[in-house]
Amino acid sequence: MNAAKIARSVTQALLAPLIAVIVSAAVTSVVVVVAGASVSDFFDVMLKLPSHRNVVNIVNQSSLIFLAALAAAIGFRMNLFNIGVEGQYTLAAYAAALVAGQAWFPGKVNILVALIVAMVVGAVWAGIAGLLKVTRGVSEVISTIMLNAIAGTIVGYLLSNHGQQYGQGRRTTPIPESSQLSGWTPWAAGDGSIWTLVVLAALAGVVMSVVINRTRFGFDLRATGANEDAAVASGVNVKQMVVVSMVISGAIAGLIWMPALFGGADYYGPPFQRTLGFTGIAVALLGRNRPLGIFFGAVLFAWLSEQANPLGLIADISPSVVQITQGVVVLAVVIAYEVVRRWTAAYEQRELRTALDKEVAA
């Protein structure tokens, strides 16, 4: 491949995200103006250099978003829409917190057991949708949405009937001190520490990257996503692939809350973050379902949420404005990719034609 070609493929890869970021910045600016606030104040706050404390929070938050996006991306790679990440991680986080809180095992073993429980619960919950799809032909989009609602209700019911009274609400029994991980404190203690299990997110990213790109299973997965008929013809068992990838997706979804749980949340209760599943779907789309792209997307989303906190105080804008930015950037990026793809196809067609014309002339 010559230098010009490499330059062109790099441009193609970066063009769409660039367009998306510009469009979403523009749309957000319009919204800010309509709400009667100052655009320059808004950008001052959002682009300010993050403090040590902010950096720690961004790293921690991106690890959760990264895992959520990874879970969604597995399914997306074979055109399987696991909208159910939300329900899977809610149920898994509850189950893992419950088991870890019982302290059946000492210290670190307890953590390992809890992680396995989380993965199994997430996998089973996702597996239901997979089985319904292959045996009964139920669209996974609808079934996972229903399973989300059911998971939320089940956890709510169990928590309010069997949870430990804590302040206004209920929680699971906190995990024993020997199973809590202290994390890594890069700056002053007051700036907080980076959770130990952020490593888990990084590990999951690497493993997934290898599995998708370097194994037979990964190839089958991508082949099914790219062209199902061709995959079937080459001997891929699509039904089996659907169930397996749903299960893997659910297992990863089960891990989403684990860095937080063992990094200071200590129990399932009010500090639990909802809607990470949907954030994950957005980030997966943003990152083209590739681990590296997802990584950048996760950092972007975590940055936006963290930096938006002082918006109300400094610029008199509601921090919820970044939700619009996040939504628009996702829609803009999928449209931009499609447009860039069409441009590229048209360009290549033109090139081919000129080359052919030359040959005919010669």
Partner 1 sequence: MTTTVAAPAPAPGREVADRGSKARRYFLIGLAALFSLAAVRVITGVQEVDSPGSLRAAIIATCPILLAALGGLWSERAGVVNIGLEGQMLLGTWGGAFFTYYYGPWVGLAGAIAFGVLGGVVHALATVTFGVDHIVSGVALNLIAVGLTTFLAEAFFSDLDSEFGHGGAQQLTGIQKPYTIEKIPGISDAAASLSDKHWFVVSDVASTVAALTTRISLVTILVFALVVFTGWALWRTRFGLRLRSCGENPEAAESLGINVIMHKYAAVLISGGFAGLGGGYLALVSSPGFHTNQANGRGYIGLAAMIFGNWRPGGALLGSGVFGYTDSLRLRDSATIHAMLLFVGFWLLVFAAWRIYKARRTSGIVLGVFGLLFLLWFALTDEVPRDFTSMTPYVTTLLVLAFASQRLRMPKADGKIYRKGSAG
Binding stretches for partner 1 (CB under 8 A): 31, 34-36, 78-81, 83, 132-134, 136-143, 145-147, 149-150, 153-154, 156-157, 160-161, 224-225, 228, 238-239, 242, 278, 281-282, 285, 318, 320-328, 330-331, 334-335, 338-339
Please say which residue, 124 or 324, places its beta carbon nearer to partner 1: 324
What sections of the chain are H helices per DSSP? 3-34, 39-47, 52-77, 85-102, 107-136, 140-162, 198-214, 216-226, 228-233, 238-255, 258-260, 276-286, 291-308, 311-315, 321-361
Q: What's the closest the beta carbon of residue 225 comes to partner 1, in angstroms?
A: 8
Q: How far is the CB of 237 from partner 1 (least distance, A)?
A: 11
Under 8 Å between Cβ of 201 and 67: yes
For residue 164, the cross-strand partners are: 171
Q: State the nearest-atom distance from the C-beta of 134 to partner 1, in Å.
A: 5
User: Which CB, 33 or 210, lies closer to partner 1?
Assistant: 33
Contact between 99 and 286 (Cβ < 8 Å): no
Q: Which residues contact 89 (CB under 8 A, 6 or more apart)?
A: 68, 71, 122, 253, 254, 255, 256, 257, 276, 277
- Residue 285 phi/psi, 5-degree rounding, is -65, -40
Identify which of residues 59 and 72 has a Cβ nearer to partner 1 in the complex.
Answer: 72
Apex 249 CA angle, 196 and 245, nearest 5: 140
Burial of 177 (0-12, 13-18, 19+ CB in 10 A): exposed
**Residue 107 CB, nearest distance to partner 1 (Å)?**
35
Tell me which amino acid residue 113 is. Answer: V
Beta carbon nearer to partner 1, 180 or 289: 289
| Least separation in angstroms between CB 114 and partner 1 | 25
Nearer to partner 1 among residue 133 and residue 290 (C-beta): 133
Q: How far is the CB of 24 from partner 1 (least distance, A)?
A: 10
Closest alpha carbon to 313 in 8, 45, 134, 25: 45
For partner 1, which is the closer residue by CB, 24 or 179? 24
Q: Which C-beta is closer to partner 1: that of 111 or that of 128? A: 128
Backbone angles phi, psi at 6, to 5 degrees: -60, -45
What's the closest the beta carbon of residue 102 comes to partner 1, in angstroms? 23
Cβ distance 142 to 83 under 8 Å?
Answer: no
For 164, which DSSP code? E
Comparing CB distances to partner 1, the nearer of 37 and 103 is: 37
Nearer to partner 1, 114 or 311 (CB): 311
Residue 342: CB minimum distance to partner 1, A: 8
Least separation, in Å, of the C-beta of 129 and partner 1?
Answer: 9
Helix/strand/coil for 85: helix
CB count within 10 Å of CB 191 equals 15
Three-state secondary-structure class, residue 141: helix
